[in-house]
Structure 1
Amino acid sequence: MAARVGASSRHGTKKWLASFFGDAGHSSSSKSVVKERLQIILAHQRGSQVLTGVDLAALQQELLECVQRHIKVASGANINIAVKNEGQMDIFEMQVPVDGDHMTEKRKPTW
């Protein structure tokens, strides 16, 4: 009887998660959307732990200065920093919109 309750409980939790994340039809594409959303939430939570105690504003500014030495960044660019988990690896990601002519003068090839 206890095994049945556990299985029923797990099934109920799955149904609740599916309804919460919009998986009403149980199609494979809906299931993949639910899985992706859960991964985003978990990655965000994990990223919060990885970056605990880090001054993100200072980190972003220092990294941006380094990038700007080599690449022209679009003026007024919105810079995004994230930590993602892919498999067993945490990935630090910084998205920086670049200018159309993205190479700075000193980094342009001379050929």
Structure 2
Amino acid sequence: MGIFDYFKSKSEPSSASVAKDRLQIIVAHERSRRTQPDYLEQMQQEIIAVIRKYVQIESDDVQIQLENTDDCSVLELNVTIPEKS
């Protein structure tokens, strides 16, 4: 029955998958506009706004860092999500 599973329509993507795709688009866009060094703050505020649609967090719960090497850039995103009570 494995071959038939391949043809089944997939369920809707998870919110984490959608958020990851959005972040990749933001990163790709910002890489093309390297002349603007202040984008990280704006990106952080937008990411906080998206996360707040799903869970209440504080602004300092999101940390963003960009590391540049010779041939690539790495965007590190750390989000502290509170435990459910």
Greater relative contact order (CA < 8 Å, ≥ 6 in sequence):
1
Q: TM-score range by the shorter chain?
A: 0.3 to 0.5
Q: Return the structure number with greater helix share.
A: 1
Q: Return the structure number with greater strand share.
A: 1
Which protein has the larger Cα radius of gyration, Structure 1 or Structure 2? Answer: 1
